[in-house]
A and B are shown apart, each in its own frame.
Chain A
Amino acid sequence: MTPRKRLMGVGAFTLATALVLSACGGGGSGDDDASGDNAAIVTVGSGEPQNPLIPTMTNEVYGGLVVRNIFAGLVRYDENGGIENEVAASIESEDNKVWNITLNEGWEFSDGTPVTAQSFVDGWNYGAYGPNGQNLSYFFTPIEGFEDVQLAEDQLNEDGTPKEGEVPKAETLSGLEVVSDTEFTVTLTQPESDFPVRLGYAAFFPVPESFNEDPEAFGENPIGNGPYTLANWEHDSVLELRPNESYAGGNTVENDGVDLLAYTQEDAAYNELLDGNLDIVINIPSSAFGTFEEQLGERAVNQPAAVIQVINVPEYNEKFSGEAGLLRRQAISMAIDREAITETVYHGARTPATDFTSPVINGWTEDLEGNEVLQYNPEEAKKLWDEAEEIEPWGDEPFYISSNADSDHQSWIDPTCNGIRDVLGIECEFDQYPVFDEFLDARDNETLPATAMFRGGWQADYPSMGNFLGPIYGTGAGSNDMNYSNEEFDAKLDEAAGAATPEEATELYKEAQTILLEDLPGIPLWYQNATGGHSEAVDNVAFGWDSDPILTQVTKSE
């Protein structure tokens, strides 16, 4: 054998391997073409759900999109975040504390079993029961008996794991009571005026009887009562939603189904849209912020959403506390040119913040009392900073903005810091953490630098002002990572929760926000817009208040 032939042999081998493998991979393409011929299947760029598809387990966007389309709750949200009854015939309460819920007749799950009061109570009990470890269990905290379905302190080991054989005191929530097949009551521990608004959220969806037998299997093959059914789930590739014949709610399905395709990068999905291979993208990549509205024209979506970005102020940090600390907070807030950053860096894909909530929430206003502290005002900022310097000098340490670095936060922190550096004459740096959980770790264990504020973001679960305030700024609240505490503010929240009408509640929430603007426990930056786009093949694409496209009404020509 000559050397040349030996070499050829090697080359031929590798090439052959590559070809054989490609032949295997190509096998799937036949199916895709077949489904493409089925005409009106809308393709949407999404991602792989991170949890089993159990309503009370789904706390992230990709799984959320599936669950919201294959289940129907007591109420549903319209495009603007208003609520309409869906499975519920009525949701009533005299005192905002004991709620009486009646259901419409004729609802069925896609397996033919009826949707009853028990279906809801089963789902909620499962979600609340501590040992089930459901991600959304905190939604049930206001319901009476929540404490009893959790393991008590003395049932846990020192490291937080349950002791061998220990179970919670009760298996079900005492606040849930089934009256008949179509009626049940919910008793809360305290008045919550926006309770009905919450009931359209995934945590409150019903589950069929088959769920109770094997929740794990259900997570792979969920059976719901929503406008679609999950016909097929190929992991890391596609979730196929098909119209549910037995759906009895108010959304009419205008297409033959939706394929949610898994993409790991927004750029890839966007390029597929440009190439006409994908009908809808849910997120425009930051590299295309400047060009997508021009490239897509009418087919571009760019609207405010229920997401706000803030810089949170750790209350435990001396540099930011006291009189000087408050002046510094105000100075930093006024040194950030929100207009310029949202225009230049985000090309309008963010909207400068004027409060702590979001423009898509009922009652939002841009004229909140005291919100001039959120306006760019370099002279005033410098003046306030100098006043603070006189009370107590800042020192040589740079001011830090702490954040995880794994999802492009540098692009706004750089210009924000440039501004602070120029306006206030202090050093400003990005304190970065390579992975998200490392950032959380530093934040929660209070090991951030002594001169750092940290990034925070909040997406509303349900369209209510209260959802933007209580969970974040309430004393001891779950996401109050700043340790902020103001009795007056807490009292306002309680008052709003017990308000007789939603309008009254909104007024009280606004007053509560005025307190926040005075204290600045967080510095609101901007509202994150819902950005998306669609191909020429589809019409009637609208994005809801929750930044997700409303899939049922999309029509596909072809």
Chain B
Amino acid sequence: MLWYIGRRLIQVIPVFLGATLLLYALVFLRPGDPVAALGGERGLPEAVQAQIREQFHLNEPFIMQYFYFLKGVVTFDMGNDFTGQPVAETIANALPVTFQLAMMAIVIEAVLGIAFGLWAGMRKGKLFDSVVLVWSLLLISVPTFVTGLLLQIIVGVQLDWLPVTAGRDPNFYSLLLPSIVLAATSFAYVLRLTRTSVFENITADFVRTARAKGLSRALVTRRHVLRNSLIPVVTFIGVDLGNLMTGSIVTEGIFNINGVGGTLFEAIQRGENTTVVALSTVLVIVYIGANLLVDLLYAVLDPRIRYA
């Protein structure tokens, strides 16, 4: 097992190189000239632009830019962005709040999704199943920018139950509404995946055997049905952690959270290459960690899956 984990950690290196190279290629191919846009509609004097380009190595070939980036990674110095802010500081500011938001969203979608999915799966075709289906349809069909803003206006402004934004003071309470919004679509996935898996497993032989042995329905549900149903759900949640961390652009904007999604999006729009690649690199590590965790959970959920 330790050998397996160690091997997986070593694999971080090729993934890191591959991902950053791909990112740099994309950033390099990005149309437009970010330096020209720094001056707004009016543009900056040519000399100023040239100076900025020189400072950020933007006038050098692709491979050299990538090399400078790697050098920055190795020496733990990612340099500054166009506004003079250290990139490392920007990331350090954005990461904790996003991580907290993503974790809260994961907990919400996992707990509620699995609970409702279990219930719906065991009563397939009954009223509750249909009600849940309509709800998940609603969550799928209405874009986040609508649900987010509506919830903000209703829960935050009109009912005054929760803080309107979370930017200045991100805590459990103020992040509750954003994390619910963020979890909404994923909740629909978790719910439907759980429901189908549960339904598939309650007809399985081992469940019948367990029931025939005289085990109580509740015990069979927990120990046999749910446990065996969780593999696709756990996979999805693992993948979703990554999605939630970058995909929170809209939610972060609505609730004025200064996190990874918004920072990344702004950096892409402004052509801040270093920030884009550095931030994505941090995310690569998160994905790899989450995936490793998921793979280890497989072995826990299904003893037949073994890693050597």
Contacts and interface: CB of A to CB of B under 8 A. Distances in A.
Do the two chains touch directly in the complex (Cβ atoms below 8 Å apart)? yes
A12 to B, nearest CB: 10
Interface stretch (A94-102, A243-251, A266-274): A266-274
A457 B157 CA distance: 34
Contacts, number: 199
Of listed B43, B169, B255, residue having the most chain A CB within 10 A? B169
Contacts of B50: 156, 159-162
A22 B175 contact: yes
A310 B110 CA distance: 51
B48 interface: yes
B167 A268 contact: yes
Contact of A479 (B33, B42, B49, B170): B42
B105 to A, nearest CB: 10
Interface stretch (A195-203, A232-240, A297-305, A349-357): A232-240
A49 B84 CA distance: 11
- Interface size classification for chain B: 35 or more
Contact of B104 (A18, A267, A268): A18
A85 B227 CA distance: 78
A478 B258 CA distance: 35
B91 interface: no
Contact of B51 (A2, A138, A161, A264): A161
A436 B172 contact: no
B22 interface: no
A21 B100 contact: yes
A28 B174 CA distance: 13
The residue among A29, A265, A441 with the most chain B CB atoms within 10 A of its own CB is A265
Interface stretch (A127-135, A183-191, A334-342, A535-543): A127-135
Nearest to A277: B164
Contact of A268 (B42, B254, B271): B254
B44 interface: yes
Contacts of B46: 160
Nearest to A45: B256
A161 to B, nearest CB: 5
Contacts of A479: 41-43
Contacts of A444: 36, 43
Most buried by A among B96, B164, B222, B252: B164
B106 interface: yes
A435 B271 contact: yes
Contacts of B99: 21
B257 to A, nearest CB: 9
Contacts of A156: 47, 50
Contacts of A151: 47
Contacts of B6: none
B260 to A, nearest CB: 13
A506 B256 CA distance: 44
A262 B168 CA distance: 9
| Interface footprint category on A | 35 or more
Most chain B C-beta atoms within 10 Å of own C-beta, residue among A14, A32, A439, A458: A14
B300 interface: yes
Interface stretch (B12-20, B66-74, B148-156, B273-281): B148-156
A2 B195 CA distance: 23
A150 B38 CA distance: 20
A89 to B, nearest CB: 32
A162 B51 CA distance: 8
Given A135-B44, A160-B47, A271 B167 contact: no
A275 B93 contact: no
A232 to B, nearest CB: 13
A440 B43 contact: yes
Contact of A133 (B36, B47, B152): B47
A50 B230 CA distance: 47
Contact of A131 (B32, B51, B104, B153): B51
Contacts of A18: 100, 103-104, 107, 172
A272 B37 contact: no
Given A2-B223, A26-B171, A268 B253 contact: yes
Contacts of B227: 3-4, 7
Contacts of A322: none
Contact of B107 (A15, A59, A267, A287): A15
Interface in A433-478: 433, 435-441, 444, 456-458, 471, 478
Which 9 residue pairs spanning A and B have beta carbons closest together?
Answer: A437-B37, A438-B32, A22-B172, A160-B50, A437-B32, A26-B171, A21-B100, A268-B256, A133-B48
9 contacts: A131-B47, A133-B51, A135-B48, A138-B45, A161-B59, A265-B254, A271-B165, A437-B37, A444-B43
Given A151-B47, A435-B37, A437-B271, 13 more contacts: A7-B227, A25-B171, A26-B171, A49-B83, A134-B48, A216-B84, A235-B93, A262-B167, A271-B152, A271-B164, A435-B269, A437-B36, A441-B32
